[in-house]
Amino acid sequence: MLNKFMVAGRLTADPEIKTVGDNRLCKFTIACERPKRKGEEKAQTDFFDCTAWNRNADVVVDWFGKGDMVTLVGAVHINRYEKDGQKRSAIEVKVEEIHFSGGKKKQENTTPTDNGNSYAGTEDDPLF
């Protein structure tokens, strides 16, 4: 059996990380615009709730913000629960892979020549 999901979209808000036991968790939502059909004035948008754990959570929080484009690969999970006596379900994407799909959003403190893609790391950073 196979449960793989791939989506490219933009984050709807700045992601935040929290600690659950010994693990780090980041929950966020991405918006994915559907191609516009003939006769439609406006394209429709789907919103996907996503969950990233540990290193994937760190990557999302460190590298992405509201409006940034990201491509995710993961598995779709359907969480079933009961609320106020009614059975409900919620669909969630468990993130397995994160891919950079576009430039960072423009920030006010960047210079015009760096296109907002600058990285302000330290000598202790593993990227140096």
Q: What is the distance between the alpha carbons of residues 112 and 75, in angstroms, rounded to a whole number? A: 39
Residue 121 has pLDDT above 80, yes or no: no
Task: Determine, yes or no, domain membership for 72.
Answer: yes
Number of domains in the chain: 1
Give the tens place of pLDDT for each residue, 2-23. Answer: 999 999 999 999 999 999 999 9
CATH number of domain containing 26: 2.40.50.140
Element at 28 (helix H, strand E): strand 23-33
Task: Determine, yes or no, domain membership for 112.
Answer: no
Q: Which domain holds residue 87?
A: 5-35+44-100
Q: How many CB atoms lie within 10 A of CB 19?
A: 9
Task: Determine, yes or no, domain membership for 118.
Answer: no
Give the tens place of pLDDT for each residue, 22-69. Answer: 999 999 999 999 988 888 888 899 999 999 999 999 999 999 999 999
Task: Determine, yes or no, domain membership for 121.
Answer: no
Task: Determine, yes or no, domain membership for 52.
Answer: yes
pLDDT of amino acid 117: 38
Name the residue type at position 14.
Answer: D
